[in-house]
Amino acid sequence: MKELAESSGVKVAFREVDVVTTGTFGAMCSSGAIINLGHSDPPMKIGSAWMNDVPVTHPGAAVDLYIGATLMSETEPFEYGGGHVIEDLIRGEEVELRATAHGTDCYPRTRLETTLTKDDLNQFYLLNFRNCYQRYSCATNSRDEAIYTYMGKLLPRFRNATYSGAGELNPLMNDPDYETIGIGTRIFLGGGQGYVIGEGTQHNPGGRLGTIMVRGDAKRMSPEFIRGASFTNYGTTLYVGIGMPIPILNEGIAEKAAVRDRDIYTEVVDYGVPRRDRPTLRKVSYEELKSGRIAIGDRDVKVSSLSSLRKAREIAGTLKAWIEDASFYLTSPVETLPTETSFRPMRQTREAVFVENLVHGAVTCREDEAIGEVAQRLISRSVNHVIVVDERERLRGIVTSWDITKAVAEGRSRLGDIIVRRVHTAALSEPLDSASRRMAQHSISALPVVDGDGKVLGIVTSEDISRLMGGAGYG
Amino acid sequence: MVRVLLRFSREIVDEPITSQVILEEGIPINILSAHINPQGGEILAEVSSDRAEDAIRAFRGRGVTVDVRELIEKDDERCTDCGACVSLCPVDAIAFRDDSSVDIDEERCLGVTCGLCVDACPTRAIRLIG
């Protein structure tokens, strides 16, 4: 279709093509499965339940559970989670169920342990409330350390970048005005057939960030297209395969379904900045992303996907084959999806605390000073950290009262020998949560606060944070 | 060229064994990557094919464990070809094939001396050997 529209024009493509099949296979965290267990004897109104040690949620009456993809195992957190439970059930494997309840007159049972396969479940439906993002940002990291995010592992100082999404193969990108996709649209879902049941949460069609809510019978799905996944230090999720048929009903739809990767743009975003509005570094097309390298500033950066293009193609191909052999019938939606909604930030009644709210002046010294002078300054200013700066107030290192004590014990006199030169820093606009997390990770008690040029603006210490928490002024 | 993974135990890690093999045996050795601390170390090195046997004997004679085998393994059943590993590889050993599947070139891989890709695999399909 896309090639035909390009070579012969949209009119010809419209005449020749009846349906364009699309596909995507990526990590979709807002996914899960609703299951019904049937009643035990004596019956039980489940209060808390675990499947393979994953605490599943109990949103309904007595024996309905929702296995959220991101819920993590209590024995193997970050490695095994709700997504894996769903995959194991689809594979036909036995899953251990454990449940507790407070007990009622009508549901007296308080404890339960059993094993189940999908055949034992009355219902096992994938019920995903946000899937199939039309496009997504490309992630990179400006920090001096690697970070682990839902966009994968991001190496320090822009050494790599990651993106997600199938670009021109994405279902919603081929029908961006929701002329054919709506409530009731039958789709390929996880290797079986499912339905669009509405717009997804955070649906933002105007920003070309549309999403859908979907449902499908998980008993008929395949582990080829539904996979549990682990993002190190982030958590677990579910890879979901979705394919949609786009009926080419008119030339307008044909033109939109002829979209190419070079026409689809997203933003390269610095995930090193832990804020809601992360800095955008540039715009980039999916064509550039799929090439494997992008320029960020004067750097040539390796970029790769987190979603599988090979699987996306396989899904579109499978859907095409199903339509051709009449095992999949297209449906007309019973309701269209909203095209006007936008995604607003959270209303916060209490502002979070940032480094700039807690930073204070740092006690500094120069590299050529004697240890004795620096020791006196520590005492006279009642601090535990002295920041070493150059003549332009730029960070050169840090010396703590412990370093000085150790130097005295070892008979050293040159400050240069005891300076810690690899220093973790904080920025003024950084959330305090993120700064204190870094201090805990590296077992350090203070972070010099620097600007973009490395100039020291002050210091934030764990004592300041403790005092703030003690005063209940936190968060 | 032959790739060898040299493992140094704690007892011998502070001895200049690699230099000795280069100088005393006259074998040119190209060090690709190294991870060394007082507890022990690993060096991934390349030796020309005709001197590989001499080099392996020389290292083993000095108490070094020498491995000549694959360094990495990808479980193709688990792998979904997502590509999360591709941008992390510092030596371009991981790349997409023309059909968008992920290929690991074992000849280029730095193995246990690198390992950047391993914990980045969402389906835990990559395993370092050894």
Are residues B94 and B44 part of one domain? no
Residues of B with CB under 8 A from a CB of A: 80-89, 95-96, 99-101, 116, 119-120, 122-124
Mutate to test the interface with B, among A88, A226, A304 (most CBs of B within 10 A): A304
Longest dimension (CA), chain B: 49
- In sequence order, the 6+-apart residues with CB closer than 8 A to the CB of A134 are A165, A170, A172, A173, A176, A205, A208, A209, A210, A211
Evaluate whether residue A421 is within a structural domain.
yes
Check which CATH number belongs to the domain holding B28 and give it: 3.30.70.260
pLDDT of residue A475: 45
Question: Measured between CA atoms, how close is B68 to chain A, in angstroms?
Answer: 30
The answer to whether B80 contacts A230, with C-beta atoms less than 8 Å apart, is no
> Are A135 and A111 found together in one domain?
no
Residue A475 lies in a domain: no
Q: What is the mean pLDDT of chain B?
A: 90
Provide the pLDDT for residue B12. Answer: 92
Number of domains in chain B: 2
Same domain for A231 and A100: no
- What pLDDT shows up at residue A98? 97
Please check whether residue A349 lies inside any domain of the structure.
no
pLDDT of residue A348: 85
Residue B122: what residue type? P
For residues A412 and A371, membership in a common domain is answered with yes
In whole angstroms, what is the distance from residue A95 CA to residue A127 CA? 19
- A425 in the same domain as A381: yes
d(CA A171, CA A167): 9
* Residue B103 belongs to domain with CATH number: 3.30.70.20
- Domain assignment present for A182: yes
Instruction: Find out whether A242 and A24 touch, Cβ atoms under 8 Å.
Output: yes
Shared domain for A194 and A270, answered yes or no, is: yes
Last residue of a domain, one of B67, B96, B118: B67
Say how far apart CA A69 and CA A126 lie, in whole Å.
10
Burial class from Cβ neighbours inside 10 Å (0-12, 13-18, 19+) for residue B107 reads exposed
Residue A348 lies in a domain: no
Partners of residue A360 on adjacent β-strands: A459
Strands (E), A257-394: 265-270, 280-285, 293-296, 299-305, 335-336, 364-365, 385-389
Same domain, B97 and B84: yes
One domain for residues A164 and A94: no
Statement to judge: residues A223 and A292 lie in one domain:
yes
What sections of A138-284 are H helices per DSSP? Answer: 251-257
In this structure, the answer to whether residues B61 and B42 fall within a common structural domain is yes
**pLDDT < 70 regions, chain B:** 69, 130
ipTM field: 0.84
| Number of structural domains found in chain A | 3
Q: Give yes or no for a contact between A296 and A158, defined as CB atoms under 8 angstroms apart.
A: yes
- One domain for residues A217 and A171: yes
CA distance B55 to B29: 9
Q: Is A311 helix (H, G, I), strand (E, B) or coil?
A: helix
A344 and chain B in contact, CB less than 8 A: no
Scanning the structure block, which residue is given the tokens 């036909």? A92
pLDDT at B130: 60
Domain end point (choices B17, B51, B67):
B67
Residues of chain A with pLDDT under 50: 474-475
Same domain, B12 and B59: yes
Give residue-wise pLDDT tens across range A360-385. 999 999 998 888 889 999 999 999 99
Q: Are residues B46 and B80 in the same domain?
A: no
Is A463 part of any domain? yes
Shortest CA distance to B55 belongs to which of B86, B21, B85, B83? B21
Structural domain that includes position A112: 38-121
Query: Do A331 and A466 belong together in one domain?
Result: no
Q: Are residues A157 and A277 in the same domain?
A: yes
B60 shares its domain with B32 = yes
Interface contact B101-A310, CB threshold 8 A: yes
Q: Which of A261, A239, A266, A242 is nearest to A161 (CA)?
A: A266
Domain boundary (B67, B88, B112) is at: B67
CB atoms within 10 A of CB A84: 27
* Residue A345 maps to a domain: no
B63 and B7 within one domain: yes
Residues B7 and B58 in one domain: yes
The reply to whether B36 and B81 lie within a common domain is no
Q: What is the pLDDT of residues B42-76, one digit of tens each?
A: 998 888 888 888 888 899 899 999 887 677 889 99
| Same domain? A84 vs A220 | no
Q: On the CB side of B62, how many CA atoms lie within 13 Å of its CA?
A: 22
Same domain assignment for residues B98 and B121: yes
Residue A106 known to be catalytic: yes
Sequential DSSP letters for B75-123: -TTT-----TTGGG-TTS-EEE-TTS-EEE-TTT--GGGT-TTGGG-TT
Residue A196 lies in a domain: yes
Q: What is the pLDDT of residue A363?
A: 94
Helix H or strand E segment including A161:
strand A160-163
- One domain for residues B62 and B98: no
Count of beta carbons in the 10 Å neighbourhood of residue A233: 12
With an 8 Å Cβ cutoff, are B87 and A303 in contact?
yes
Q: Please check whether residues A315 and A444 belong to one and the same domain.
A: no
Q: What was the pLDDT predicted at A249?
A: 95
Residues of B in contact with A239 (CB under 8 A): 80, 82, 122-123
Which residue, of A66, A86, A121, is where some domain finishes?
A121
Domain that includes residue B79, residue range: 72-128
B82 and B56 in a single domain? The answer is no
